[in-house]
Amino acid sequence: MYKILIADDHPLFRDAIKSVIDEKFPGSTILETSNFNDSIQLAEENPDIDLVLLDLNMPGMEGLTGIVRMRNNHPEIPLGIISAEEDKSVVLQTVGYGAVGFITKSTPRENIAMAISQILDGQVYLPADIIRSSSAQQSGSAHKSDEDALKNIAYLTRKQLQVFERLAKGKSNKQIAYEMNIAETTVKAHVSAILHKLNVKNRIQAVLCASNIDFDQYLHHHR
């Protein structure tokens, strides 16, 4: 089964996350730490970790610097953030620094299980209100990077657009490969090309950019 590291300085919350994982993924190995330095060490000692759930405000994190250190030291391990923080700008900043999910501590238990499941399946997870607020932005107030991504979509091939449309719905590479009847390695190549052409760092940023895109319109022009 899975091996998951829960890094949080609140024992009660660690216990809550553990019970969610035990229920959703019975037989999984759960590692626990209460500070960032121990988290780095455990990740070093356990390169087969499937997911790190990192508290944004625990001792040693130094804000977003901890995310950068964890991503630099262990780029192959998916990193999800768990935090009481609900400020939209902070959530989006964590994405910019390489997190593939953000779970607020006010999230209902069943949604936490869904979020962890999505991340383990290679998908991305953000609170629904964050995605809604991003899609509600108009081009005049959107970040320049979002505007650039919208312009750059014109450079995507039809096949890349089809992959991007599914990626934007949160589907994993395996699901996309099945739906499009292509190899998973081909999907990975398309995703890499999409991120490069849109000039974004990861899948979450691509998903946020996609919120303003009318895929039917672009696919129609590629017929």
Delimit the domains of the chain by residue range: 3-133, 137-221
Higher-pLDDT residue of 55 and 144 is 55
Average pLDDT, the chain: 84
Tokens of 119: 């991340």
Query: pLDDT digit string (tens) for 81-104?
Result: 999 888 888 888 887 788 888 999
Alpha-carbon distances of 103 from 86, 108, 142, 190, 197, rounded to whole Å? 9, 10, 24, 28, 29
pLDDT band at 132 (very low <50, low <70, confident <90, very high): low
| pLDDT attached to residue 152 | 78
| pLDDT attached to residue 118 | 86
Name residues whose C-beta falls within 8 Å of residue 220's C-beta, 6 or more positions apart in sequence.
Answer: none
Q: Tell me the mean pLDDT in the region 136-151.
A: 52
Of 45-49, 68-72, 131-135, where does the model show the most confidence? 45-49
Of the given ranges (59-68, 90-99, 106-115), which has the lowest mean pLDDT?
90-99
Query: pLDDT digit string (tens) for 25-59?
Result: 999 999 999 999 999 999 999 989 999 999 999 99
| pLDDT attached to residue 130 | 67
Q: Tell me the mean pLDDT in the region 188-204.
A: 85
| CATH number of this structure's domain 137-221 | 1.10.10.10
CA atoms within 13 A on the CB side of 40: 15
Q: Tell me the mean pLDDT in the region 132-156.
A: 58
Whether residue 134 contacts residue 212, with contact meaning beta carbons closer than 8 Å, is answered with no
Fold exhibited by the domain 3-133: Rossmann fold (3.40.50)
| pLDDT attached to residue 131 | 61
Beta bridge partners of 104: 83
Q: Which of 41, 103, 74, 189 has its CA nearest to residue 31?
A: 41
| pLDDT attached to residue 221 | 60
